Structure 1
Amino acid sequence: MTNRRDFLKKAGLATAATVGATSISAPYVHAQSKTPIRWRLQTYAGPALAEHVIKPSIDAFNKAANGEMEIELYFSDQLVPTGELFRAMQRGTIDAVQSDDDSINAPVDVSVFGGYFPFASRYSLDVPTLFNHYGLKEIWEEAYGEIEGVTWLGSGSWDPCNFVTREPIRSIEDLKGKRVFTFPTAGRFLSRFGVVPVTLPWEDIEVAMQTRELDGIAWAGITEAYTVGWADVSSYYLTNNISGAWAGSYFANSERWDELPDHLKTLFRMCMDSSHYYRQHWYWWGEAHYRTKGGKLELTSIPEAEWQTIEDEALSFWDEIAEQSERNARVVQILKDYRSTMQNAGPPYRYS
C-alpha cells in the first residue's frame, strides 16, 4: 500500500534522471546525453513467477536500450489491482501491461478468449499458431483498434490450467462445492460442474488455502504451483486440464507507444518474443519435471471417458460465446476449424 500511495503521488510528474559520465564510443553519445524514456509496466504475476514470465526480457530490454529507455517493472496488484489495469493504462496512470484480456476487464468482446478459454488449446504451441497462422492476430488488432487509448501488442502462451487442491479430485462429482481461485471465464464455465469461483488478490491465495477459505486453485499448471509456493499448501494435482495453455498479451498506452521511435518499438517486440520463447521451454520442462520429481503433490485423474463430458460441454459453451457478437462467432469458428485440423492430422498434434 505504501508503494501504491507513493506511486499515485508521483504519477504524471516528470522523473529526473542523471546519467553518470562513462567512457563511450561516439555513436552512443547523443542517446546517453538525453533523459531516458521511462515506462511503468505492471504484470499479472507475483514476484516469484515474474522472475520467469517477464523479468528476464525486461532486464534485457533495459540493457539493450543503452540508456535511451528504461522500463520499471511492477508485480501483481503492486500499483493497481489487476482488474483495474486496463483502465489505468488507458488513463496513462501506467504505461504498459502484461496480462490476459479477461483478468484486466478489457472492454472488448474477444476478452473472453484471453486467459483460459475452455479447451481452446491442447498444447502451448496452439496459441501462437492460432494467432499467427489462423487469423486471431488480425481479429485482436481489429477489436482493440476500436478502443481509444490502448494498443494491443501481441499474444503468447503460458502454462495449462489444472486443479491444485487440498482434497483429491477423482470424479466430476468431486468438483461440486469446491471454492476455487480461477480466471473469470474459466470460473464461469467450471460453475456448470458445481465449482464455486472465488476472486482474491493474487498474493492472498497461499494464505486462503491455509485458512480453508479456498479448496483449490485452477489458475495454472504444476510449474507455477511449485514456483510460487502453492504446492506447499496443497496436497493434490489433477492431471486433467481445461486448457492446454493460457493466452496472455502485452498492451501499452497508445500515446506512449506512438511516442517511441521505431527502433525502440522493434526492440520491445523482440523482447516480447524472447519472453514467449522462454516460457515455451520453461513450462514444457516444468510440467513434466514436477509431475515426476516434485515430491509434494499427489497426482490424481478423472477417467478420460468421464472427462469427455466436460470437454463436450465446452463446445456448447463456445456456441453461447459465439452468439454474443459477430466477431466472437468468427473466433469460435476458427477454434472449431483448428480443432478439426489437429484431430485429422493425428499424432503428435492430437492423440484422441
Structure 2
Amino acid sequence: MTTRRKFIQGAAVAAPAALAAPAIAQGTITWRMQTYAGAALAEHVIDPAIEMFNKIAGDRMQIELFYADQLVPTGELFQALQRGTIDAVQSDDDSMASPTEVTVFGGYFPFGSRYSLDVPVLFNQYGLNEIWDEEYSAVGVKHISAGAWDPCHFATKDPIRSLEDLKGKRVFTFPTAGRFMSQFGVVPVNLPWEDIEVALQTGELDGIAWSGITEDYTVGWADVTNYFLTNNISGAWAGSFFANMERWNELPEDLQTLFRVCCDQSHYYRQWWYWGGEANLRVNGTKLELTTIPDEEWATVENAALEFWEEIAAESDVKRRVVDIFKQYNADMLKAGRPYRYT
C-alpha cells in the first residue's frame, strides 16, 4: 500500500529535480507558487509551464513550484496568497476556498460545460473574465487566466449502472459537485489529496468524482478502483492562475507578459493532453471497466442541475450574472447545433 510518508518524500524530491532552475543571481525576483496538483499530475498540468518561464526569464526571475499541500493545505491557498505567504497559485476557486461570489463556479459547476473548449470561450468571449477580475481585485488577488482541465467522472470500487447504485457511496469530490450530487445519495468526503489512494485501499472511500480517466491513471487511482462511469457531472474542470496583487504589480510589464504566455501554454497543453488521453484510455486502458447509466435515467441528474443553477443564482447578484451567462452560452451552443451541442 502507498503510504502518505512515501508520497510526501517522493514529492519533496521531485519538486527541485523537476524544475532544475538555474542558480539565483543577486537581485533575481523569486516567487513561491503552489499548485492544487500532486507531483505525478503536476508533471503535466504545471511543470512544463514553470520550466519554460524559468528558462526564459533566467536570472531576472525564478519561480519555485510546490505541489499539493506542501506549503499550506489546499483549502488555505487563498488566504496564503492574499497574505503574500505564497506569491502565485494554480487552483480552482472552489478547492482553495476563495471568499468571492464566483467560488461556486470554479472546479466543476454541474453541467456548466460539455467540452473543454467551453471554458475559455465562456471566459474570453462571454464575459466571465471581467467578473472574475472584479471579484478578485476587490480582495487583493490578481486573476491571471482561466482554462479547462478534464471532465468529472466517478471512478469507484463497485460498479455504478443506475442512480440507485450511487446511494451511500462515500466519494472524494469538489465542494460544489458534492453539494449537488448529495441529493442523489452521494456522501461527499473531504480529505487531503495525498491521502486519497490510501483511503480507497482501506475502504474509507468508495470512490472519487474528482477527474476524468486520464488523471485516474496518471496519479494511481486506477490501481485502487475498478470501474469508471462514462456519464459525467461536467464536461470540464475550470481552474485558474492567480497572483498576490502587490507581487504582480511589482513585476515589469515584460515579465507579466511572459507569465501570461506561459499560463496560456499550460492551458493549451492540457487541452490536447486531456482530450486525447480521455479517449485513448477509454479505448485502450486495461485497468478500469467502463459502466454507463442509461441516458433517460441520467436526464434526471441533468434536469436537477438546471434547478441547482437557479438555487445558486438566487444567492447574490453576481451569481445571477454568472448563471445568466451559462444559460445564454448553452442556449447559443444548442442553436448552433453539431458539433457544439445536440440533443
User: TM (normalized to structure 2)?
Assistant: 0.93
Do residues 340 (structure 1) and 343 (structure 2) align? no
Quote the residue 1:275 is aligned against: 266
Do residues 121 (structure 1) and 113 (structure 2) align? yes
Quote the residue 1:134 is aligned against: 126
Quote the residue 1:26 is aligned against: none
Give the whole-Å Cα distance in 2 for the aligned partners of 1:54 and 1:65.
17
Local SS of the residue matching 1:206: helix
Do residues 69 (structure 1) and 61 (structure 2) align? yes
Q: Extract unaligned runs of 5+ from structure 1.
A: 8-16, 20-31
Q: 1:91 aligns with which of 74, 79, 83?
A: 83
**In the TM superposition, what is the alpha-carbon distance from 1:18 to its structure 2 partner?**
6.2
Local SS of the residue matching 2:59: coil
8 Å CA contact retained: 1:18, 1:35: no
User: TM (normalized to structure 1)?
Assistant: 0.91
Quote the residue 1:247 is aligned against: 238
**In the TM superposition, what is the alpha-carbon distance from 1:144 to its structure 2 partner?**
1.2
Quote the residue 1:28 is aligned against: none
Local SS of the residue matching 1:256: helix
Give the whole-Å Cα distance in 2 for the aligned partners of 1:269 and 1:200.
32
Q: 2:177 aligns with which of 165, 183, 186?
A: 186
Local SS of the residue matching 1:67: helix
**In the TM superposition, what is the alpha-carbon distance from 1:150 to its structure 2 partner?**
1.4
Q: 1:144 aligns with which of 136, 148, 160?
A: 136
Give the whole-Å Cα distance in 2 for the aligned partners of 1:66 and 1:235.
45
Q: Deviations over 1:178-216 (max 9, x none)?
A: 000000000000001000000000000000000010000
Structure 1 residues 18, 270: closer, same or farther in 2, change over 3 A?
closer
Quote the residue 1:238 is aligned against: 229
Please say which of residues 235-244 and 334-343 is displaced more in the overlay: 334-343
Q: Extract unaligned runs of 5+ from structure 2.
A: 13-21
Give the whole-Å Cα distance in 2 for the aligned partners of 1:105 and 1:327.
17
Q: 1:106 aligns with which of 98, 102, 112?
A: 98
Local SS of the residue matching 1:120: coil
Give the whole-Å Cα distance in 2 for the aligned partners of 1:325 and 1:239.
34
The higher radius of gyration belongs to 1
Alignment RMSD: 1.7
Give the whole-Å Cα distance in 2 for the aligned partners of 1:92 and 1:337.
37
Q: Deviations over 1:240-264 (max 9, x none)?
A: 0010000001111111111100000
Listed as ranges, the matches of 1:217-232 within 5 Å are 217-232=208-223
Structure 1 residues 71, 344: closer, same or farther in 2, change over 3 A?
same
Quote the residue 2:201 is aligned against: 210
Number of aligned residue pairs: give it: 327
Quick one: percent identity of the two aligned structures? 68
AA of the residue aligned to 2:242? F
Give the whole-Å Cα distance in 1 for the aligned partners of 2:307 and 2:182.
14
Query: After TM superposition, what 4+ stretches of structure 1 lie above 3 angstroms from structure 2?
Result: 1-4
AA of the residue aligned to 1:328? K
AA of the residue aligned to 2:255? L
